[in-house]
Chains A and B, each alone.
Chain A
């Protein structure tokens, strides 16, 4: 890890193909800043991305990275971290990727509390497949596949996370760049699974959950007396359906990451040229 890393070192030479104005630009910049700020460099960082406009983020960043199949980024990240706890692992994707096809993995990744961060670019729509309802879309949000709206209430990912035993839950807004970078940084620094839901507006397919909407609605928790270590307070804030918050909603400062509990310390990539010492004992067990 070199100390002179700048956030631009995390930029790849591939130009993003996101629509001009897409919230994902700001989200990505904040992620890169946070990584640099926390003393990481591209060679010790592993970014796993989902599928969607949001999932392209891994392509536009420079680090060790894997862009996987739809909805399965979290388990990949868990595997990377377990096999090499010395790496900084960040998983990123969209609300469809994380809360629809990948919802099961989300719950279990939260429960598992591996020391990594998970950034979800929540635009309340499917961007890449051109504007269908996502699990965070409003009940009456009209799209080509849901002309009358999805007809079911949106999921509340922060409530899901809290219920599943999350140790870090935060909410951020991509256009508020300084705050956003700080929040992601806190997620990285958290000892355990750092979950950040980022409002990252889709300027092409979502004309309801716009920059203006979030700007007008969002309340910075730093400007309230919210105590993030107080789970009851966190629960109340998370369940308030008419409010959008920015900042750390909940953090368990006593969190012990999974790999620490399981005693996984060293990278698993160093193995001998032959069977490991003592392997013959494995045979003798069968006497």
Chain B
């Protein structure tokens, strides 16, 4: 892949690494090239190594690779950190006039390009522009027309005034000219441009955009890496559509505010990461049992506890799948790509409202901080459909009133889904409680009502399985003996891995699963393969566990959830019936 270029800028946190990298990524995207970015960063604001990496090609790129062609090193450590990825044709751009960079050792046969970044920046109007000088130098090395940088410089610095934009353009040209004049050589790189129009965005932004497109009007959150960008994206933007973002005092408040807004009839969301999910879990149960539609987004990072806040992990699957005391009907969706972050968010709101349950939208750090190019039609807003489920108003509420005229907000409908009346609806006033309740929402410990309500809530899941398409995405060779399954952000890397495997003569069928619960039944796929491998970023194989569980032979079950313990004679009867083949004793009838 001669056209596939890997570029990076690295230095200390606080050096403007991110914005410089983004300027370059945007320039490439504007020039009609595909881009896939990644970040190495530590959990600190100043100091510590940080890097922004850009992979670019004319064809789509879906993942990062272990190869670095051009490296702008603002610190010596940047070179050491990336040593393994450098090769003989790599070019390192650094400022040899800085005392800390004078004795730089360049690994292997890589080329070291000394460019007096700081001095040239000063010539252009200020030392602060040294990163942009480096960008100009990189343009020359890669034969990338510098004019493509101009628009991204405009975008980045336009707010600060035309003079600043002009100075930055000048700084970039100083870098380009210096390399052109001082190094009369060909570096062997060429960044071809095309006419394609792309947009460049990360997973958190795609979730925020999906939320607004999908009708979300209220967002309450508490900042946490790597979910904060969702909140930052929505702030100011959702207001333009009549909504509001509120920064709550903590995650407990955030989910409760979001719950309140949802009960008031707004499409409502909160986003957090693992530690925040822990705090939200008590209210998660309330959301489910009060049958409130709510989207809770978990952008996973390394755990447990505060773990490694800036590192990737997919360790919260069990938490989102099983978290919370008691038994909680829920949906768990996990986007597998950045564009899916958008579409799954839209879907999450529809599922939440149609089934009146909480929906976990599980993303991960790799999706959150990675930016990728897409054609704008990927996010075609005309394709967005909004289904609000069984909302009743003044005109049809009568059908849902009991003989005394009371609204049956928890009516045990055959499909498990009750009517919903937004507050303000005449005759709809009703109580909802986290206590077990009857069809009117009134607290109860009546064993029959208890069973009826538990069954009703669980029935939603059955209805959804019938009505929705909880499918998987498939790549590679459908007839291969080797089956690889993954979830979340691994899809991109795995799709590219298929190519490498193919080169080595390995036929592989790859299934990427965006639905954790309910999820597609993979029994047949698993049983027809010789080797089944589940790929995920965690230590214990949480998704592998659920798939193994799914393909296991089922045990018979005797369940009781009336609130009353088992009695010996009753148990004996149940077991006899089960043995006699009277299957389907999913519950012991309430007495």
Contacts and interface: CB of A to CB of B under 8 A. Distances in A.
Interface of A: 12-14, 42-46, 48, 58-59, 62-69, 71-72, 74-84, 86-87, 104-105, 107-108, 262-264, 266-269, 271-276, 278-280, 282-284, 286-287
Contacts of A46: 263-264, 423
B548 to A, nearest CB: 34
Contacts of A286: 199-201, 205
B241 A108 contact: no
Contact of A76 (B260, B381, B423): B260
B427 interface: yes
Of B217, B264, B285, chain A has the most CB atoms within 10 Å of the CB of B264
Nearest to B435: A67
Nearest to B197: A287
B465 interface: no
10 contacts: A65-B430, A66-B263, A68-B256, A79-B258, A79-B259, A80-B261, A105-B249, A274-B385, A286-B200, A286-B205
Contacts of A72: 252-253, 256, 283
B431 A12 contact: yes
A274 B382 contact: yes
Closest 7 CB pairs of A and B: A79-B260, A269-B265, A83-B261, A286-B199, A79-B257, A75-B256, A67-B433
A80 to B, nearest CB: 4
Given A75-B253, A76-B257, A82-B244, A267 B431 contact: no
B259 A76 contact: yes
Contact of A79 (B250, B261, B427): B261
Interface in B235-249: 237, 239-244, 246, 248-249
Interface stretch (B37-45, B83-91, B208-216, B295-303): B208-216
A273 B391 CA distance: 13
A42 B252 contact: no
A109 to B, nearest CB: 9
B398 interface: no
B32 to A, nearest CB: 12
B443 interface: yes
Interface string B271-309: 000000000001101100010000000000000000000
B501 interface: no
A46 to B, nearest CB: 5
Contact of A282 (B29, B213, B266, B442): B213
A79 B268 contact: yes
B431 A104 contact: no
B274 to A, nearest CB: 20
Contacts of B240: 278
Interface string B194-206: 0001111100010
B404 to A, nearest CB: 8
A268 B264 CA distance: 8
Contacts of B215: 271-272, 276
Contacts of A283: 199, 209, 376, 379, 381
Given A12-B431, A87-B423, 9 more contacts: A46-B264, A64-B263, A79-B263, A80-B263, A262-B244, A275-B213, A276-B241, A278-B240, A286-B200
Nearest to A66: B432
Contact of B286 (A68, A87, A268): A68
A268 B431 contact: no
B201 A66 contact: no
Contacts of B443: 14, 59, 67
Interface string B166-203: 00000000000000000000000000000001111100
A206 B233 CA distance: 51
Contacts of A78: 246, 257, 260
Contacts of A44: 423-424
B212 A279 contact: yes
A43 to B, nearest CB: 5
B472 to A, nearest CB: 26
B55 interface: no
B434 interface: yes
Contact of B427 (A14, A43, A107): A43
B384 interface: yes
B264 A83 contact: yes
Contact of B431 (A67, A80, A108): A67
A139 B199 CA distance: 63
Contacts of B283: 68-69, 72
Contacts of A272: 215, 386
B429 A42 contact: yes
A78 B244 CA distance: 12
